[in-house]
């Protein structure tokens, strides 16, 4: 877990760095707004602790610019200001949380943990197996550098297989979770098979390593040839219909 601390007061910066490092976070300190802005853009952090009163560009201005550029990293604002107005400005600018100085380190740690956790669940934006890569935000699917042109249903199907990779996925699961049909019908099995065949053509046909495998009489599994299948895990994939 990498944390960027943007704080101009030496003593506070040092205490934060040492405290967080003793909790096994990797900490980078920036002591000016400019450097903080540069670091936040240059490296991928899991969390940014941002002081508001900084020489040069202040924390709020930096935060607004970072958010405008699309940076999603959770930001915890640290400031001595304690009026309701300042808190509102901070949160309106894209901060995820707000801590008023002086604060107890244990409280800071609790908030850091909460934000890192939240950030991590939000970050499942890509699904991968071998050289296959599915981006849930841009909806771009690639094998290696080669983009694959999938229909909406093929995309959903592949997403489901990726979420359940190395596990058997039955037609029943696909009917329920991808087609949202509570009861399985033979006609739907045929539709599923047709879609799998088309998807397989796009995903596997021009590539040396096959990823979509049929398990006769049961269903399918997305895996790299060498990895084993957990046959005992015929379970739901948690999709919502």
Residues near Ca ion (CB under 5 A) are 8, 51, 53
Nearest to Ca ion of 53, 108 (CB atom): 53
Tell me whether strands 219-222 and 212-215 are parallel, antiparallel or unpaired: antiparallel
Q: Minimum Å distance from CB 71 to Ca ion? A: 21
Q: Minimum Å distance from CB 31 to Ca ion? A: 9
Nearest to Ca ion of 100, 130 (CB atom): 100
Nearest to Ca ion of 1, 53 (CB atom): 53
Closest CA to 177 of 157, 200, 155, 195: 157
Rounded-to-integer distance, Cα 182 and Cα 185, Å: 10
Which residues neighbour 88 within 8 Å (Cβ) at sequence distance 6 or greater? none
Q: Minimum Å distance from CB 95 to Ca ion? A: 15
Residue 74 in contact with residue 47, Cβ under 8 Å?
A: yes
Q: Minimum Å distance from CB 90 to Ca ion? A: 14
Residue 153 CB-density burial (10 A; 0-12 exposed, 13-18 middle, 19+ buried): middle
Nearest to Ca ion of 51, 177 (CB atom): 51
Residue nearest to Ca ion (CB): 53
């Amino acid at each position: 877990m990498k944390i960027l601390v943007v704080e101009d007061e030496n003593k506070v910066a040092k205490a934060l760095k040492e405290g967080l490092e003793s909790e096994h976070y990797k900490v980078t300190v920036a002591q000016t707004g400019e450097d903080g802005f540069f670091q936040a853009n240059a490296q991928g952090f899991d969390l940014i602790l941002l002081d508001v009163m900084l020489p040069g560009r202040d924390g709020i201005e930096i935060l607004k610019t970072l958010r405008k550029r699309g940076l999603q990293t959770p930001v915890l604002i640290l400031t001595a200001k304690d009026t309701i107005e300042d808190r509102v400005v901070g949160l309106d600018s894209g901060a995820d949380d707000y801590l008023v100085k002086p604060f107890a380190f244990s409280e800071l740690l609790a908030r850091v943990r909460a934000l890192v956790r939240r950030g991590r669940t939000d970050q499942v934006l890509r699904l991968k197996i071998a050289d296959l890569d599915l981006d849930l935000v841009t909806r771009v699917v690639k094998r290696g550098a080669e983009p694959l042109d999938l229909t909406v249903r093929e995309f959903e199907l592949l997403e489901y297989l990726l979420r359940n990779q190395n596990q058997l996925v039955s037609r029943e699961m696909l009917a329920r979770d991808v087609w949202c049909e509570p009861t399985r019908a033979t006609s739907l099995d045929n539709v599923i098979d047709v879609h799998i065949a088309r998807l397989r053509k796009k995903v596997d046909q021009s590539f040396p390593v096959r990823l979509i495998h049929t398990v006769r009489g049961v269903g399918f599994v997305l895996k790299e040839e060498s990895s084993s299948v957990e046959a005992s895990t015929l379970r739901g994939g948690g999709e919502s219909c």
